[in-house]
Structure 1
């Protein structure tokens, strides 16, 4: 996976990643809050062998003190030294347990031994550090007794008493919260990657073209609850969606330049993908460019074009197909959009698939394409065969999918239904694209810009420059 893939995954799952970070940081804060506080205090002593006044002897004693200081560090950590401290402070603990509460170290290239003691209160830590230096001095005195004569024996003298600590050294809340947040970010990223690998929902044009090989010819941002025809709207979400439909219209004009499609079915894998809204607005966009176009409602099971276009649905396509009405009498002009004619569904028949696959339907398509462009709103592909039957008689079909909702398997099955009847999939329209993915004036990511891919006559995808 490339960096762009990880950025796309983070964009798609940023809420989950943020939740992981917050939960991990809060957990680290809660854990740190219940931990007992530990204070640390340090005192030190220096190793000396007494004064001699002779410079040469003093230099020798200094070297000897440095070498012996390393041994005294080991002596500071044994149980006998701890026992002396326990007796001095009257502590109720074992020497083994108390040794774990101190650290002893020699300052490099010096005769100084530092003792750091840890305890549950500042006072206890201070007393323990000072007592330990005193106990170590006693141990050294007893060990060195008899090894030297006069005042030349090694001994430890206090060089600095412990200061009262003002803040605990443990738990380190800020550090723990930061580590928790980092761990949460890693877990969140892992979750996002796994979720992305297992997620079958289509989210972008890259997903579509990678999985199906069929180009995305248009992308329409989510218009929310804006109903009907929104092409021409100047503000709000509908303005973004209208711009997306106009880009789709432009891409359509570049399809198969020598033999452009004139009868286009607009369908979707399942109900609720917004194919009727896309069909109505695509027809309106074509009409607004000066071309004559007819919008036909071939969804005889759940017709919606009449309501979207604001026309009467008393008579329509079924009346023409059954011979009860002439095509010219069933066509209605849109009340506000010049050049847009509407053929509603008419009365609902008991056998939609048979009617739509009839020779009469082929005749209607031929008559309407002779007058201009034809946009046919057809039922979803997966529940029924109506759309595949109509697409076979037309020049091809646009399949509308919902970004973040439609599964890749649903799209594959829908394309399979079209190919079964030798119908031509002209392209995929990605509908309901999130506003956080598409911004006003910046549509290139989803194919709105000059890099849109369109289908050429031979089936190759070419870049529109």
Structure 2
């Protein structure tokens, strides 16, 4: 993945970056607000040894550098802390004084730096002043040999005590800025990690690689589809409608010499839009004047009767059981579209769909209609779709962009191939809209809004709307 690819991932998953940055900045702000300001006073010691020549100076310098490392420990010793705590102005015990002092030698020098940090700036200055005098006296006392008045070590304060102008912690600008930077890095890393772990199918190239068939329709995501699932009225001029008309055209040109006249619409799992695709494909095919029969072959969770607002209590299962004929059961929805609902939900859907009666029903339907569309259950849930696929000209597989995974798609295609059925192509459903869409979705939507919307034709049913049935012949 190149830089452009990473940038694309970050832009696509910008919410990951935004959330991590917001959380990091919020945590830093809470931390800063909860902390008591602390102030620092620093001082620097110069440690040397008396010498009488160049050789003595060199050896003394090496000796002092080694000793300075030990003197840093003396600065935070209990002995020095106890001397400082004896001052009544300090108001702390030896342990508390020691916790406020830090010391470290300046590398490759004979300098020793000490810092006193306290919530009270005045007290920090007092402790630092005592460190300057008491440490010098304690060190020279320790280094003076017994019975001698000369000490081989000389300690001088060359800098400080010096207090910083403001608190050393917390520093809101520094702390929050650092947290934002960390959150940004973590957000980018999280976005890239999620992209690497995301196995969902999102583009046509990926679909074609798995299915070995082209994508025959890119159906854009439409927020109004839930309340207006059918392509009637204004919805008939939407980007979604244009995509389904593209599916209609592609089906007609898949095999010019022998175009499909009976197709199964299915998906991997529920919720990918197979039923709405089947219903709307029937509507756009009927627009061309073809006689279309739409069969609800999902005998487990039927939905077409609800989409078209028709009676679904009597339907396919009743015909297969020999209770009624197909001519008595199909319902005419408009001048070119007939619908055969599922009927009652049977205990043995797979056996019914694979029966001789189902084969005879499809043969009769092919003879009377130009196109037969069957909405079937998902492939990975039950075997119904695979059974129906063997009795038709092929399968239109519907996958939901960003939701159907490569594993699910591969398993569905494997189920189709296992029964030697023909995969006509894939519909990439609920695809995010992009300006680069081959259908120019936004242009279609704009032009459609400027055109007068024709009145929606009333369903041509005989008798009552919800209970009538008409002959398919």
TM-superposed CA distance for 1:3, in Å, is 6.8
Q: Hey, what's the Cα distance between the residues in 2 that align with 1:38 and 1:417? A: 69
Q: Hey, what's the Cα distance between the residues in 1 that align with 2:267 and 2:367? A: 23
| 1:99 to 1:313, Cα distance in 2 relative to 1, 3 A | closer
**More displaced stretch, 185-194 vs 386-395:** 185-194
Aligned partner of 2:433 in structure 1 is 438
Aligned residues: 417
Kept in 2: contact 1:264–1:375 (CA 8 A): yes
- Secondary structure of 2:183's counterpart equals helix
Aligned partner of 1:425 in structure 2 is 423
Give the TM-score of the pair, scaled to structure 1: 0.66
Q: Hey, what's the Cα distance between the residues in 2 that align with 1:316 and 1:292? A: 24
Kept in 2: contact 1:20–1:185 (CA 8 A): yes
Aligned partner of 1:275 in structure 2 is 274
Kept in 1: contact 2:219–2:240 (CA 8 A): yes
| 1:127 to 1:63, Cα distance in 2 relative to 1, 3 A | farther
Kept in 1: contact 2:295–2:342 (CA 8 A): no
TM-superposed CA distance for 1:173, in Å, is 3.7
What RMSD over aligned residues (CA atoms) do the two structures have, in Å?
A: 5.3
In the TM superposition, what are the counterparts of 1:302-451 in structure 2 within 5 Å? 305=304, 308=307, 332=332, 334=334, 341-345=336-340, 348=343, 353=353, 354=355, 357-369=358-370, 374-382=371-379, 387-406=385-404, 411-412=409-410, 414-433=412-431, 437-439=432-434, 441-443=435-437
In the TM superposition, what are the counterparts of 1:61-460 in structure 2 within 5 Å? 70=65, 74-75=70-71, 77-78=73-74, 79=77, 82=81, 84-88=83-87, 92-94=92-94, 98=98, 101-106=101-106, 114-139=113-138, 142=141, 143=143, 146-147=149-150, 154=154, 156=156, 159-163=159-163, 165-169=165-169, 173-174=175-176, 177-178=179-180, 181=183, 184-185=186-187, 188-189=190-191, 192=194, 196=198, 202=201, 204-205=203-204, 208-223=207-222, 224-230=225-231, 233=234, 239-256=238-255, 259-286=258-285, 291-299=288-296, 301=299, 305=304, 308=307, 332=332, 334=334, 341-345=336-340, 348=343, 353=353, 354=355, 357-369=358-370, 374-382=371-379, 387-406=385-404, 411-412=409-410, 414-433=412-431, 437-439=432-434, 441-443=435-437
Aligned partner of 1:54 in structure 2 is none
Q: Hey, what's the Cα distance between the residues in 1 that align with 2:132 and 2:386? A: 92
**Which runs of 5 or more structure 2 residues have no equivalent in the other structure?**
443-473
Cα deviations by residue, 1:241-270 (Å, 9 ceiling, x for unpaired): 223323434543552455443433323345
TM-superposed CA distance for 1:121, in Å, is 2.2
| 1:215 to 1:229, Cα distance in 2 relative to 1, 3 A | same
Aligned partner of 1:452 in structure 2 is none
TM-superposed CA distance for 1:132, in Å, is 1.9
Cα deviations by residue, 1:150-202 (Å, 9 ceiling, x for unpaired): xxx956255544236421335774266347625753784587368536xxx65
Aligned partner of 1:53 in structure 2 is none
Give the TM-score of the pair, scaled to structure 2: 0.65
**Which runs of 5 or more structure 1 residues have no equivalent in the other structure?**
51-56, 336-340, 449-465
**More displaced stretch, 4-13 vs 114-123:** 4-13
Q: Hey, what's the Cα distance between the residues in 2 that align with 1:381 and 1:47? A: 84
Aligned partner of 2:41 in structure 1 is 41
TM-superposed CA distance for 1:393, in Å, is 3.5
| 1:295 to 1:2, Cα distance in 2 relative to 1, 3 A | farther
